[in-house]
Structure 1
Amino acid sequence: MDIGELIRELRTAQGWSQGRLANEINAVHGTTLTREYIARWERGTVRPRTFYLAALSRVLDVPLAVLEDPMMRRTFLTDMAGTAIAPVVASDLLARGFAARLAGGPTEEAWEERLAAYGTDYMSLGAADIQRRVAGDLVVVQQQLDTPRLWSAAARLMTLYAKTFPGSDGSAAVRWYRMAATAADQSADQATRVWVRGRAAIALGYEGASLGVADVLAHQALALSDRPSLGRLNALYGLAHAAALRGDRATALALDAEGRRTFDAVGSEEQTSDYAVPWWRLNVFRSLLLARLGEERAATDAQDQALAALPAQLPRFATHLELHRGLMLVRAGDRAGGIAHATAAMDALPPERHSLTLRMLVNEIKA
């Protein structure tokens, strides 16, 4: 079965027009699809790329594997007749969970390997491409929570899953971050407890979202241990961004100084994992922080340091840095120039590499 036919059937089952489907994808993924592009998919003149298949999977609530496989597409349409889409997806996830329980599921070592792979994938593919994969693994791992180490793996998976929702949602991301913190406590592993809270704090602080929650989780991380760690480093910069957004310049700069000292003790050698904070990523944190504070010279230096060490396979982060430059222009009084710079940076990045966080930064610049 042709993918265009399935898209048309799924769209019709939702009661959506082609324009409505385009709007749903744009709202969730920050893209700029038009009704005409949806029509080209459905006519078969253009085939959706991997990014858009993942986007369709999410907004239409259908397994990604169905969109990718012609035989599964035909079977799915047959099964869907007279049936809501969501129960089919739920059935698939439930089957995976119980099958894992009955078979014993992946080993602790296999979960660690899978987490490492997710850390790398997230940096290059973004949230939309892996959200459903992580959801499926969460269904499996929740059937295996028999040891502290598996609770640790589940907590880190939940943190990653939370990052696939925009922090400004105010409910989905925050709910998952809080559950991840509780799961980390079940592991009784101090490093996991600190890291989960710190990673949540920097994600929310960087996005400028749910700052009260970012504060709470960051302070919890810092209270759990005063030893230098990547979790503590993330927590410090989560607090710093929250302070900057509130206009507390002195606190933000003091936290930046402490963060740099912490990085000197624990900075990562790994360059391309979401679980790592290498030199270039520290400077991405600092670039936005200093731009928010109006520290133009220091922000420019952080941007240059980040670009000099940024791996070539991570162009999305180069776009982050260009958006920071746009924010600096706005803060300096050139609103039109800053917005134009940010818009040009987003246009230069392929749409499938856009992220919710980038979209939120553009909105911050415009505001």
Structure 2
Amino acid sequence: MTSARLFPRRRFLQGLGVAAGVGALTPGLLAGCSSGDDSSAGGSPNEVRISNWPLYIDRDTVPDFERQTGIRAVYTEDIDDNRTFYERVEPNLAAGKSIDRDLVTPTNWMAVRMRDAGYLQRLPAELIPNAKHLNPDIQMPWDPAGEWMLPWTSGITGIAYNRDAAGRDIGSFRDLLDPAFRGRIGMLTEMRDTVGLALLAVGRDPQSVSFDDAAPAFDLLTQAKEQGQIAEFTGNEYPDKLASGRFAACMAWSGDVAQMSLENPAIRFVIPEEGGLLYSDVMCIPAFGANTATAAAWINYVYDPVVAARIAAAINYISPVAGVREVLAGMGGETARLADSPLMFPDPAALSRLRVFRALSEGDEARFDQRFALITGE
């Protein structure tokens, strides 16, 4: 996930009466990362300090967790981008110092990088019995046994289109290259998303692709850019451009479009015929001084199907917890309609068409990013 996913969710949550300051949120960045003072490395033994993305939770879970467990939750919305987050925490972790967080929720590929660098602790499985509720259909190739990270929520990268602006249905990546849409197509500034969909379009698997194997995908994107097919590479601008008809179609994230379509049925989301991408933001315990037991208590709590359903209803992404659909269906009213959302509950056929972009070494990441930057002009 990146900050690009904020604006649609912000509008949806405000509609539910959920403000940006959720529950026991506290301001500030990772204070321990700049001081070098490790005196508070462990924090209070009866609190859990959490870093998550903005507007990624409902308004009741934090205070309810505190009431039911007696653990104070210091919940901070200070992950705005995987790379900038890593740049903040890496110096302390490299020096063997605490980052003053007991639980962090980077995207799966960044969590793998942190694990491989020795910056994570193993999860105490014995303290997370509710992990038994994890949906077995959710792919976790980055850590199949859930030893180091467990999913907070998942989403799909695919194609969104404005049926009124496009004048027809769209179903494939190749549709984005139709000359009829020249100058009205949006693609994403996130390399993994845009290159990942292009890889699928040229028959390459993002789960195993090498840099050399990715050349046809880069060539496809270069040609589309040079021919004026792509209006812009965007981050959080795409929802408004799609809603206004400035974009006939664009690459998009499922949760955003699920929320947008509630307001405008002409806004639709599809997994491209060639395949889409599955990503997950994951919960993991940073090394050096974290409160492992209270972090595990938080994971265990949010894996209760009732709690997980409440979170899913607020953010509209794919819950990793089995039973959430049934809980939502039983809530009645507008919330019950979410149980029928194919974006929140993709069926096995849809899941089989999704791939996860493989973890890249730092060297490979630099090569992919540099090649992509030549196309986007960044």
Instruction: Give the number of the structure whose residues are more often strand, by fraction.
Output: 2
Q: TM-score range by the shorter chain?
A: under 0.3
TM-score normalised by the chain length of structure 1:
0.27
Instruction: Give the number of the structure whose residues are more often helix, by fraction.
Output: 1
Asked which structure has the greater RCO (Cα within 8 Å, sep 6+), the reply is 2
Bigger Rg, structure 1 or 2: 1
